[in-house]
Amino acid sequence: MNIPNQPVYYAIFVTTTFASFDEAQAKAPEKIAAHIARSKELRARGTLLMSGAFLDQGQEALSTMAIHTTYEAAEEYIKGDPFYLSGQVRSWHIREWANMFA
Q: What is the pLDDT of residue 4?
A: 57
49 φ, ψ (degrees, to nearest 5): -95, -40
Q: What is the pLDDT of residue 58?
A: 79
> The domain that contains 74 carries what CATH number?
3.30.70.1060
The boundaries of the domain holding residue 30 are 8-98
Does residue 2 lie in a domain region? Answer: no
Q: What is the pTM of this model?
A: 0.88
Q: How many CB atoms lie within 10 A of CB 8?
A: 15
More confident site: 44 or 102: 44
Does residue 1 lie in a domain region? Answer: no
Q: What is the mean pLDDT of residues 83-96?
A: 98
Does residue 21 lie in a domain region? Answer: yes
Does residue 78 lie in a domain region? Answer: yes
How many Cα atoms within 13 Å fall on the side-chain side of residue 24?
22
Q: In the chain, how many domains are there?
A: 1
Does residue 3 lie in a domain region? Answer: no
Does residue 20 lie in a domain region? Answer: yes
Does residue 33 lie in a domain region? Answer: yes
Strand, coil or helix: what is 100?
Answer: coil
Q: In this model, does residue 32 exceed pLDDT 50? A: yes
